[in-house]
Amino acid sequence: MKKHATLTTTLLKQWQSGGLLSDLLLPLSWITRLVVRVKNTLYGLGLKKTHRLPVPVIVVGNIFVGGTGKTPFVLALIEALRERGWQPGIVSRGYGVEIGPEPRYGSGSDASARLLGDEPALLAQAAPIAVHPDRTRAARCLLQHFPDTTVIIADDGLQHLALGRDIEIAIQDSRGTGNGRLLPAGPLREPASRLNRIDYLVTNSPAELSPQNPPAHATQPQNAAARPRQVSMQLQPTRFIHLASGNTIAPESWRAQHQRARIAAVAGIGHPPRFFTTLEQAGIVVRQTLAFPDHHAYTQAELHAIDADLILMTAKDAAKCRDMQDDRLWALEVAPRFSDGDFFDDIAEKLKSLPVY
69 marked as part of a ligand binding site: yes
Nearest to 69 by CA among 280, 348, 315, 293: 315
Q: If we measure between CA atoms, which residue out of 72, 119, 71 comes closest to residue 235?
A: 72
Q: Is 68 annotated as a binding residue?
A: yes
From the list 270, 235, 54, the residue with the least C-alpha distance to 155 is 270
71 is in an annotated binding site: yes
- Count CA atoms within 13 Å of residue 31 on its CB side: 7
106 a known binding residue?
no
CB–CB of 239/249 below 8 Å?
A: yes
**Residue 64 assigned ligand-binding role:** yes
Packing angle of the helix pair 343-352, 70-83 (nearest 10 deg)? 60
65 annotated ligand-binding residue: yes
Q: Which residues fall in the annotated binding site?
A: 64-71
The binding site for ATP comprises 64-71
